[in-house]
Amino acid sequence: MPSLKDLKNRIASVKATQKITKAMKMVAAAKLRRAQEAAEAARPYAERMNKVLAGLSAANAGNAEAPLLLSGTGKDQVHLLIVATGERGLAGGFNSSIIRLARDHAQKLLSQGKTVKILTVGRKGNDVLRRSFKENIVHYITFREVKQLGFVQADEVAHKVLELFNAGEFDVATLFFARFQSVISQVATAKQIIPAKFEASEAANNGSSALYEYEPGEQEILEDLLPKNIAVQIFRALLENNASFYGAQMSAMDSATRNAGEMINKLTLSYNRQRQAQITKELIEIISGAEAL
């Protein structure tokens, strides 16, 4: 059984931890609002660009001269997984959910005899995936020193992806990130960006593309927009990740603060009981001594 001094020291330690988790919760809450606004503002632009490209891709379906970013290399052997995670931890299951989705996808591809290459964005994902897929990681990008994410960071990642694709290093690229839904809900998401793949809702608008005349031609527009779309989708993923991180951290620190409070109450109760028992024991000894005299 711990002594009174040990219990007192432990209570003080838990109280200090509680102050830290409460402060981290407040910081995450303050940063979450801006990050959420940025993520929500990026969605309409990314979705609209996807719709435009969906219409153009439908019009160029089966075209032998379509850009490789749209039609692909014609093979499905080498896959590049772009895994975007956070730079820091203490955010509940935020990082682990993204890593788990990417790891399961990689293992599935490897079991099918495919070649898997991994490009990690963020320190936490790189540290975890390096344990199991060290030989598969081809590049690592970190924005740990960046105070505020911007399109420049997304363009850096997109430039590296396009560089690898143009060099013939892979056939299919899939982006992994967490889509922000709410403070308590962040959904790990996989999105294929090379060759461009569009959702059914986006493809449903393909018929409207016949109402527009493009200048210059559709081919030129595709060649110009497809590389930009990769940067836009990566930028959206980074913003979604940023909002998801602060939401998950806020929830995790709130739970940690409440758990610390419960632990303090239990330790205080144990401390008071042991202190009362010690006082009672001393009183009994004093009374017994007095009666003996």
What pLDDT is attached to residue 200? 56
Domains and CATH numbers, the chain: 4-20+253-292 (1.10.287.80), 31-251 (3.40.1380.10)
Instruction: Give 22's pLDDT tier (boundaries 50, 70, 90).
Output: very high
Alpha-carbon separation of residue 123 from 119, 130, 153, 180, 264 (angstroms): 12, 11, 15, 20, 34
Instruction: Indicate the pairing of strand 115-121 with strand 137-141.
Output: parallel
Distance of CA 266 to the CA centre of its chain: 35
What pLDDT is attached to residue 63? 65
Render pLDDT for 77-119 as a digit per residue (tens, 0 to 9).
999 999 999 888 888 888 999 999 999 999 999 999 999 999 9
> Which of 45-54, 77-86, 144-153, 216-225 comes out lowest in average pLDDT?
216-225
> Which of 83-97, 115-129, 186-200, 237-251 comes out lowest in average pLDDT?
186-200
Determine what percent of the chain is predicted with pLDDT higher than 90. 35
Please tell me the number of Cα atoms within 13 Å of 6 on its side-chain side.
5
- Cα angle 251-253-254, degrees, rounded to a multiple of 5: 65
What pLDDT is attached to residue 1? 67
Render pLDDT for 265-281 as a digit per residue (tens, 0 to 9).
999 998 898 888 888 88
Please tell me which residue, 105 or 69, carries the higher pLDDT value: 105
Answer whether the bond into residue 227 is a cis peptide, omega within 30°: no
Mean pLDDT within 246-254: 91
Render pLDDT for 134-190 as a digit per residue (tens, 0 to 9).
899 999 998 888 778 888 889 999 999 999 998 889 989 999 999 998 888 888 999
What pLDDT is attached to residue 212? 62
Mean pLDDT within 188-215: 67
137-141: strand order across its sheet: 137-141, 115-121, 78-84, 172-182, 185-194
- Tokens representing residue 84 in the block: 């975007």
Alpha-carbon separation of residue 207 from 197, 219, 231 (angstroms): 17, 18, 26
What pLDDT is attached to residue 208? 47
Alpha-carbon separation of residue 265 from 6, 134, 253 (angstroms): 15, 45, 18
Label residues 99-132 b or e (16+ Cβ within 10 Å = b).
bebbbebbeebeeeeeebbbbbbbbbbbebbeee
